[in-house]
Structure 1
Amino acid sequence: MSSEDALQPDIIRFAPPALPSLPPERVPYDGYRSQRTPIVIDNGSTTLRWGFATFDSPYAGTNAIAKYKERRNNRLLMLFGEGIDSESGAKGQAKTPWEGDVLLNFDALENALDYAFLQLGIDTPTIEHPVLMSERLCTPLHSRALTSELLFELYSVPSLTYCADGIMSFYQSNAPSSSPFRSDGLVVSMNTASTSVVPILDGKGILSHAKRIPWGGSQASEYMLKLIQLKYPNFPTRLTTAQTTWMVHSTCEFAMDYQALLRRLKDPIQLRSCAKIVQFPFSVPVVEEKTEEELARIAEKRKEQGRKLQEIAAKSRLEKLLQKESDLQYLQTLKDSRGTEGKKEWATKLQAEGFDDDAALADVIKKLEADLKKARKKEADGDDLVVEEPSFPLLDVPDADLDEDGVKEKKKQKLMKAGFEARNRARKEKEREKEEKDREEKREEEERHDDLDAWASKRRQEHQVLMNRIKDRARRKAALSDRKSAAAQARMKSIANLASDDRISKKKRKGGNEDMFGADDADWAIYRKINTAVASSDEEEDFSQLQAVEQKLLAFDPTFTPHETHASIASQRSALMTAFRPPYEEGDVEGNMRIHLNTERWRVCETWFSPSMAGIDSAGLGEVIHNILTRFPDSEKSRLVNNIFVTGSPSQLPGLLPRLETTLRPILPPEMPIKVTRADDPSAGAWQGMARFARTEEFASVGVTRQEYDEHGPERIRKWWGGNWNGGFIA
C-alpha cells in the first residue's frame, strides 16, 4: 500500500443500530408458576432488560411507549420499544419513563412493566415473584417511593429490592463463584444521562464518597448533533439523535493527549488522513436522454434567446452611454460658464444644480469621464472591424416635412449615428491605449534587458504593494464583522449620523417626508462605507494588476516561485479549512450526502474529561476520580486503583482504558500499580450481575417485603452492600 492510499479517509455507510435481541426461544410460564423465581428488571433510560433470574440472556427493548390509534381498524394500540418504529405516526407520541437521569413518567413505566410481564407469559392476577430492579446512583427518595407504590399496589409483588446498576455489573465480573463477595475496586459507570464513580471496599459500595457527572451517552450524541449542524448548516437531510448516536459509537474514540492531537491535526494532510466519511443514502437523479434533433433544437433556441438578450443589452448600454455623454456635455458647458457669472450668481447656480462648490462639480465631471472611458472601451472590445460610416438621410430633413413614421425613423437614425460615433471614439481611444501600452512594454523590455535585478526588484515592490492593499481590504472587511472593533464602531457612528440628519428641522420631520438621504452626493459615499456587501471599485483592478505582475515575475525572475503568488498563499491559508470540511469532488453525483468527521471524533469523547467544552459546569472524569482517591489512605487507595472497572454502553468507545490510566498515573505514587478493566458485556452486565445475585441465598434477606411495605409505607429502605441508600427506616 502506498503512502497516498494510507492517507485516504475511510468511508462508512450509515446504518441504523442493531435492535436488541430476544431469547431465541420463549420459555413457557408453566415452569415458573408458583416457583417464586425472582424477576430481574434493569430499568435503563435507553433500554429496558427483563427476565427471570434463571435466564442466560434477558428480553430487551427500547424503554419507550406510545399510544397510537390505528386508522385501518380504528383501534387504540399500545406500542413498546421497536414497535414504535413500525408506525410512523406513533413516533411523535412516544414517551419514556425517564427525564434525563431521573425517573418521572410513571404512566410510561407502568405500560413498560405491563409489556415486560406479558412477554414473560405471566397470566396470574398478581405478580407472585420477587422483583429485583436497578436504579441510578443518588435516586431521589420520592422517585423510589412512587416506584415501590406502583409495584406493591398495582402488581402486588411479594418483595422488592433495589440495587445500583454499576455495582451489580462490578459484582458480575469480580464476585467469586463460592466465597462471599469481598472484592475491591473503583466502578466507573457510564450511563445514558450521567457518569458515576463508586468506590468499593470489601464488597461494599462507599456511597458517601461516590460522585456523579451530569454527562452521558445522550449528551454526547446531542453534542455531536450540534457540531454537525454547525459544520453542515445546509445539510439536505434532517439529522436525528439516533443517527448521531450511531456516529458516536461507530467513529469516535478517546485521545491519549487531546491537546497534542490537535497540534498534530494542524497539518491538513494529517487532518485528512484521520477523517471518516459517513455516507448517507441518496437517490441517483434520473437524467432524461434527448435525441440529437431535440438537443440541436434546444441549442438553437438558446442561441436565439442569447442573441436577443445581447441586442437588448447593447441597446441599453448605448442609451446609457448617450445619456452620460449628454450629461458630461451639459456639465462641461456649465463649468465653462464660470467666467461669465458673478460669484454670488455662480454659487446660486451651483446650488440649483445640486453642487456645493466647484470641487463637487469637478468630481462629478471626472467620474463621468472615467465612466465614459470604461464604457467606450467595453464597446470597442466587441467591435474590432472598421466599417464604413452608414448614411443617415433623414437627419437633415426638418420634422415638419416628415410624417409620424418619418419622425420615428429620424429618431432611430439619430440614435444609430450617435452610437456609431461613440464606437468610433472608443475605437480610437483603444488604439491610442494600445499604442501607449506597446510603448510601455517596449520601455519595460529595454529596462529588463539592461538591468534584470533592478527590474525584478521594482516589480517585487509593486507586487508587495498590491498584496498589502488586498490584505488591508480583507482585514477591514473582517473587522466589520466584530462589533467591538474600531471599524464596526465607525460604521455604527455613520449610521447614527444618517439617522440624526440635521438638514431638516424636527418640526418638519413630524409632518412626514423626513427622508433626505440622497440629497447630497456624500450620502452615497457613506452608503458604500456602511454597506459591507458593496465591493470596492478598485478591488477588481488591483487583482488584475496583481495577476499581470505575477505573470511577468514568473516568466523572467528565476527567484520568484509559484508558491509566492497570491493564489498559492490564499490556498495555503484555506487548506486547513478545506481539510476540515472538504468540498464535493468534481463530477460527484448530484444529491450525494456525506459528512466528514475528523476533530469531532475525539472532541465528543473528550467532554467526559472536560465537560466545560460542551458548556457543562462540572469537573471531568479524571478530576472526579482524583477527588475520590484523596479521601482514602494510601493502603485503601492502592486497592481501589488496582481494579478500576468501567461499565456501560459508552465505555465501549476505543481508547478509554489507556486514557484513564494515562490520566491517573501522574497523580499516584510511581510504585502504586494501576489496572483498568472493562466489563465483559458493558451493556447487559448489570442485568447479568443482578440475575446472578438473585440466585443466591442472600437475595431473600435484602428486599422489602409486602408486610414491611404495609407497615411502614413506600419509604421503607433496607441497607445492603449493593443498594443505593445508607439505610434504615426513613419516615
Structure 2
Amino acid sequence: MPFVSQTSLQSDYTLFSSNCPIVIDNGGSNFRIGWAGETDPRIIFRNIVQRPRHKATGETVTIVGDHDPALMKYFDCTRSSPRSAFDSNVVYQFEIMEYILDYGFERMGADGSQVDHPVLITECVCNPVQSRSKMAELLFETYGVPSVAFGVDAAFSYKYNQQLGICDKDGLVVCPGFTTTHVIPFVDGEPVYKACCRTNIGGFHVSDYLKQLLSLKYPHHMSRITWEKVEDLKMEHCYIATDYASEARLFQKGGKEAEDKTRCWQLPWVPPPVEGLPSEEEIARKAAIKERQGQRLREMAEAKRSSRINELENELQGLEFLLQQLGNVEEKDIACFLAETGYVSKQEIESSRAKVMQSLRKAKGEPKGEQAETEEKVDPSAAEKYPLINISDNMLTPEQLKEKKKQLFLKTTSEGRQRAKQKRFEEELERERQNQQDEEKRLENPELYLEQLRAKHRELSEKVEQRKRHKTNGNHTNGNHNLSGGVGRGERLNAAQKERMRLLTTAAFDRGKGEDTFGARDEDWQLYKLMSKDNDEDEEGPDAYEAELARISSRLQDIDPNFVSKSELVPFQPVVEVPSFRPLSKEDFQIVFGVERFRCPEILFHPNLVGVDQVGVDEMAGVSIRRLPSRSQGLNERMTNSILLTGGSCLFPGIRERLEAGIRMIRPCGSPIRVVRASDPVLDAWRGAAVYAASLQFPGQTFSKTDYYEKGEDWLRRYTLRYTL
C-alpha cells in the first residue's frame, strides 16, 4: 500500500492544557506526532529533509518530508538529495532533526520557539547516551519543553497489543524496521535489554535490493524506477517464500504456476497511429491543400519577380541618366565626375548597363534578340574590359588598387575557363577522330581489328593490375617492416617517388657539409613544393590507362557479343539483410518481476544475500532466548508461545509462517510456538506511547529541565522507562 502523508495544519493547539503530553514516534522512515490519549497521530510525514535551489533566483529552500512534484519543477534537485537525521537507527544529525521538529510542531499549531507540553519521544533499543543527551538538549533549550521521556517503539507496540489480548506478559517482540531488525524478550511485562538482538537489515535494504535488480534488468527504464515507486511495488507485490529453494526452482523451471506468480508493471505507452488507405475525401482535401499552397507559392514568386523587375528598371534608368550626364561633362572634368559616381570609366558604366539590360530581359522572360546575340559574340578587348591592369600602382588610389586586383582575378579566371573549355573541345574532337579511325579499321578487316582490340585490352588490364599491386605493396610495407616474397624497394617506386627520394637525399647531403643555410634563398622553398606532390603514378597518371581501358571495354561490348568485362566476373556474394526497424510495442514498456518478488524480502532471513554477515530473523529469536537468565523451567516455552511481529517490514505476506517454521527448527520438538502479528504494525508503536502518556503515572516517569541541568548526562545514562504502571 502506498504511503499517504498527513500534514494538514492543526488549529486546536490552544484547546489542550499544558499537562497534556505530545507523543512523537521518531522512526527512521516516518515521523508521527500527536496528542496523548488519541487513537491516531495528527501529523505523519517522511523523516527526510531536502534543500534544493530555486531555478530562477538561486535561493536555497528547505523542504521537510514529502515534496509536491508540481512544486519541485521550479527547483533544481540535481545538487541536493534527501537527507536523513539517522545513521542506521540512531539520530546523529541534529541540524536536520531540528528542521523536522520545527515542521512537526508548526503543523501541530505550536509556536516553534516555545512548546509548553511534556514530550514522550521514541528511540531505538539501547540508544547511545550521547544521542539521547543531544536530543534532550535540543528539546529543552530550543523548544522550552518542561519535561521529556524516552521509550522504545517496539516495547510500546508490545504493551499496546498486550492490552488488546494479542500477546502475553512473557514473550518476544520481533520488529523488522526501516534500517534495522530487533528482537526484544519481555519477562513479566518488562523488556530485558541484555537479551535483545539486532541485525542491520530492514525495509530500506529490501527496497534498495529491488531497485538494483530492476535497474539491471531494465537499464533503459532506470528513470522510471524511482525510490518512491519501488517502495510501492515492494509493499504491493513482494512476499516471503515458505521454502526459498523450492520457490526458486519453480521459477527456474517455468510453467503455469510460475507464470501465475509473475507480476507486470505497465509503463505509460501510446500506441503508434495505424496508417490505413486514405479515403477519397482525404485525398481530395490533401489535393486542395496542395493546390492552395502551390497558388500561394506562385503568387509569392510573381511578387518577387515584379519587385526584381522594378529594381532593375530603376537601376537601368539611373545608368542611362548617368551616361546622359557624362556626355554633357567636359573632357577635363570627366575624372572628377567618375570619382564621385564610383565608376572608373565610361566603358564600365556601359558594361553595367548591358548586364542590367540582360538581367531585365531574363526577368521578363523575353527571348534574346539579334542585338543581344551580337553583343555576346563581340568580346571587348582586355584594355576596355579591364582598364586598370596596365596602369602602374603608384598612379592609382587605394580604391582603384582594390579594383585592379579584382580585375586581375577576373581576367585570370576567365582565361582559365576559356582554356579548360578549349581543352575539353579538343579532347572531344580527338575522341571522335579516334573512334572514326577505329571504325574504318574495323570495316577493312573485322577479325584482325577484333584481335588487336582484345590484345590491347589484356595489355591495359595487366598494367592497371600491376599498378594496383605496387600501390598495395607500398602501403603495406611502411617503416622498417620487411615482408618476405615482396618486390624490392626500387621496383615498387615509380618515377615521382624516385624523384622525391633524390630531392630528400640531396637536401640531407647539402645540410651535412657545414653551416645549415637552407631556406635563406627563395629558390630553396621550391624543394618543398616538389616533395609535397603526392602523385604515386607515372607521368601519364592513373586516369590515362583506366580511361583507355574503359573505352576499349565499351567498344568490345558493342562489337563482340562474347566479351564479358571483368567487373561482371565478380563472384556472387549473398546480400546480408539488414534488420528493419521494429516499432516499440506495449511489451517494451512492461517491467516484469517474478523471482524478484520473494528474492528481495529473503534478505530478512538471509542477510548474506546482500553481503551482510549477520543472522536472520529466525536465528535472532533463538539468540535472544538463549541469552535469557534461566529463572524458571517453562520460561523458554512461554517466550515462544507469544511472539509478536511489529514494524513496517512485517507486512510481507508469508512472514509469519516462515518465522514460525524457522523458530521450530531451532527449538526442541514439541515446544509451543505461536507467532502473531500486531493489530497495526505501523501505528501500534505510537498508539501504545499515546496510551502510556495518557496514564496518571506518566509524570513520574519523565525528567524535567531542572533535573537535566542538575544531574546532567550521567543521570540520562541511568534513565530507564518502566512500561508496567
TM normalised by structure 1 equals 0.56
Q: Name which of structure 1's ranges 132-141 and 67-76 shifts more when overlaid on structure 2.
A: 67-76
Change in 2 beyond 3 A, CA 1:152/1:84: farther
Contact 1:285 1:591 in 2 (8 A): no
Aligned partners of 2:88, 2:250: CA distance in 1, in Å? 36
CA displacement, residues 581-626 of structure 1 (integer Å, 9 cap, x when unaligned): xxxxx87537952211111111101111111111112111122222
Structure 1 segment 159-308 matched on structure 2, within 5 A: 159-175=147-163, 183-235=169-221, 237-269=223-255, 270-284=257-271
Query: Once the 2 structures are TM-superposed, how far is the Cα of residue 26 of structure 1 from its aligned partner?
Result: 4.0
Aligned partners of 2:28, 2:711: CA distance in 1, in Å? 29
Query: Once the 2 structures are TM-superposed, how far is the Cα of residue 409 of structure 1 from its aligned partner?
Result: 5.5
Q: What amino acid is aligned across from residue 239 of structure 2 in structure 1?
A: E
Number of the residue aligned with 1:307: none
Query: Once the 2 structures are TM-superposed, how far is the Cα of residue 665 of structure 1 from its aligned partner?
Result: 1.2
Number of the residue aligned with 1:627: 623
Contact 1:184 1:200 in 2 (8 A): yes
Structure 1 gaps, min length 5: 1-15, 296-321, 332-346, 355-401, 431-536, 541-585, 724-731
Query: Once the 2 structures are TM-superposed, how far is the Cα of residue 154 of structure 1 from its aligned partner?
Result: 1.2
Contact 2:129 2:713 in 1 (8 A): no
Identity of aligned residues (%): 26
Structure 1 segment 706-725 matched on structure 2, within 5 A: 706-717=705-716, 719-720=719-720
Query: Once the 2 structures are TM-superposed, how far is the Cα of residue 128 of structure 1 from its aligned partner?
Result: 1.7
3-state DSSP of counterpart to 2:157? helix
Q: What amino acid is aligned across from residue 240 of structure 2 in structure 1?
A: F
Number of the residue aligned with 1:467: none
Aligned partners of 1:405, 1:671: CA distance in 2, in Å? 101
Query: Once the 2 structures are TM-superposed, how far is the Cα of residue 114 of structure 1 from its aligned partner?
Result: 1.5
Counterpart check, 1:20 vs 2:5:
yes
3-state DSSP of counterpart to 1:228? helix
Structure 1 segment 36-51 matched on structure 2, within 5 A: 36-51=19-34
Counterpart check, 1:82 vs 2:66:
yes
Structure 1 segment 591-610 matched on structure 2, within 5 A: 592-610=588-606
Contact 1:285 1:590 in 2 (8 A): no
Structure 1 segment 543-692 matched on structure 2, within 5 A: 589=585, 592-632=588-628, 633=630, 635-692=634-691
3-state DSSP of counterpart to 2:242? coil
3-state DSSP of counterpart to 2:550? helix
Given candidates 138, 147, 150, the residue that maps to 2:138 is 150
Q: What amino acid is aligned across from residue 131 of structure 1 in structure 2?
A: V
Q: What amino acid is aligned across from residue 350 of structure 1 in structure 2?
A: G
Q: What amino acid is aligned across from residue 60 of structure 1 in structure 2?
A: I
TM normalised by structure 2 equals 0.57
Contact 1:205 1:722 in 2 (8 A): no
Contact 1:199 1:640 in 2 (8 A): yes
Aligned partners of 2:223, 2:714: CA distance in 1, in Å? 49
Paired residues, what number?
A: 463
Number of the residue aligned with 2:120: 132
Change in 2 beyond 3 A, CA 1:326/1:21: same
Query: Once the 2 structures are TM-superposed, how far is the Cα of residue 637 of structure 1 from its aligned partner?
Result: 1.2
Query: Once the 2 structures are TM-superposed, how far is the Cα of residue 102 of structure 1 from its aligned partner?
Result: 2.3
Given candidates 83, 92, 99, the residue that maps to 1:111 is 99
Q: Name which of structure 1's ranges 43-52 and 101-110 shifts more when overlaid on structure 2.
A: 101-110
3-state DSSP of counterpart to 1:607? helix
Change in 2 beyond 3 A, CA 1:22/1:67: closer
Number of the residue aligned with 2:354: none
3-state DSSP of counterpart to 2:627? coil
Contact 2:150 2:721 in 1 (8 A): no
Number of the residue aligned with 1:141: 129
Aligned partners of 1:27, 1:323: CA distance in 2, in Å? 102
Contact 1:145 1:715 in 2 (8 A): no
Aligned partners of 1:42, 1:84: CA distance in 2, in Å? 24
Structure 1 segment 117-516 matched on structure 2, within 5 A: 117-123=105-111, 126-175=114-163, 183-235=169-221, 237-269=223-255, 270-284=257-271, 326=465, 350=485, 352=487, 410-414=548-552, 420-422=564-566
Aligned partners of 2:683, 2:639: CA distance in 1, in Å? 24
Change in 2 beyond 3 A, CA 1:99/1:284: farther
3-state DSSP of counterpart to 2:125? coil
Number of the residue aligned with 1:308: none
3-state DSSP of counterpart to 1:350? coil
Larger-Rg structure: 2
Aligned partners of 1:38, 1:323: CA distance in 2, in Å? 106
3-state DSSP of counterpart to 2:697? helix
Q: What amino acid is aligned across from residue 412 of structure 1 in structure 2?
A: A
Q: What amino acid is aligned across from residue 29 of structure 1 in structure 2?
A: Y
Q: What amino acid is aligned across from residue 597 of structure 1 in structure 2?
A: F
Change in 2 beyond 3 A, CA 1:93/1:245: closer
CA displacement, residues 388-412 of structure 1 (integer Å, 9 cap, x when unaligned): xxxxxxxxxxxxxx9x999775321
Number of the residue aligned with 1:60: 44
Contact 1:283 1:591 in 2 (8 A): no
Query: Once the 2 structures are TM-superposed, how far is the Cα of residue 163 of structure 1 from its aligned partner?
Result: 0.7
CA displacement, residues 3-42 of structure 1 (integer Å, 9 cap, x when unaligned): xxxxxxxxxxxxx93422468x9451232143x1010000
Change in 2 beyond 3 A, CA 1:330/1:224: closer
Aligned partners of 1:667, 1:349: CA distance in 2, in Å? 78
Aligned partners of 1:406, 1:352: CA distance in 2, in Å? 25
Contact 1:193 1:217 in 2 (8 A): yes
Contact 1:188 1:644 in 2 (8 A): yes
Contact 1:149 1:714 in 2 (8 A): no
CA displacement, residues 615-666 of structure 1 (integer Å, 9 cap, x when unaligned): 1121111222222222345611111111111111111011100000111112
3-state DSSP of counterpart to 2:708? helix
Aligned partners of 1:350, 1:217: CA distance in 2, in Å? 73
